[in-house]
Amino acid sequence: MSTGAIIAIVVVALIVLALLAFMLPRMRAKAEVQKRERELQTRRERAAEEQRAEATARERQASEAEQRARIAAKEADAERAQAELHNERAGLHERGMADHELIDESERDRFAGTSALNGRHDRDDDGVDDRREAVTGRHDQDRDGVDDRRETAAPIDDDYQRGRRDEAIDERDRSDTAAESASERGRGDAPPRY
């Protein structure tokens, strides 16, 4: 081997070492950046999964809260209906239309002759059954079963309107009769309600 070849090999080796010395830090830095990018991507995916899980849990909680709110609204409606029922019963008692609920079978003789047992339902002596007044109010001077404020000022000429009026009166009479029979059936052997 000649000296020129050795010098050429040494120069090439020095150039390769210089290139390696120059390129190696850049390659390490690039590898470090790629490693950090992979770690960052892993953290992003983990954070996204956690947020999605939290969103799903919150959505479920919101649905449950809405369902509880609907149930509470239904319960409130039921309570309002019960309150209305009790107000209606109180009105019946105030007008003396539910006295039969207050008197037990064993007390019938004691309350004989009172309005509770004589079947009289005109406590204000205006000639109109108080049960009818509860439906039409005190504004039925002509006693046709229709509130005078709702009647037309003009006389009823055609058969259609007269039929509608008669049908409304019949319907009211049927509902009054049905209500009375239902209250009598409901009374049965049950203890008096206060």
The 10s digit of each residue's pLDDT in 3-37 is 888 888 989 998 988 888 888 888 888 999 999 99
How is 109-153 classified by DSSP, letter by letter?
A: TTTTTSTTTS----TT-SSS-HHHHHHHTT--TT-SSS-TTTS-S
pTM flag (> 0.75): no
Whether residue 139 contacts residue 148, with contact meaning beta carbons closer than 8 Å, is answered with yes
Per residue in 103-160, pLDDT tens?
777 777 777 767 665 555 555 656 555 555 555 445 556 656 565 655 554 455 577 7
CA 4 to chain centre: 100
Dist. CA 66–CA 46, nearest whole Å: 30
Q: Which of 157, 162, 160, 158 is nearest to 144 (CA)?
A: 162
Q: Alpha-carbon Rg of the chain, whole angstroms?
A: 47
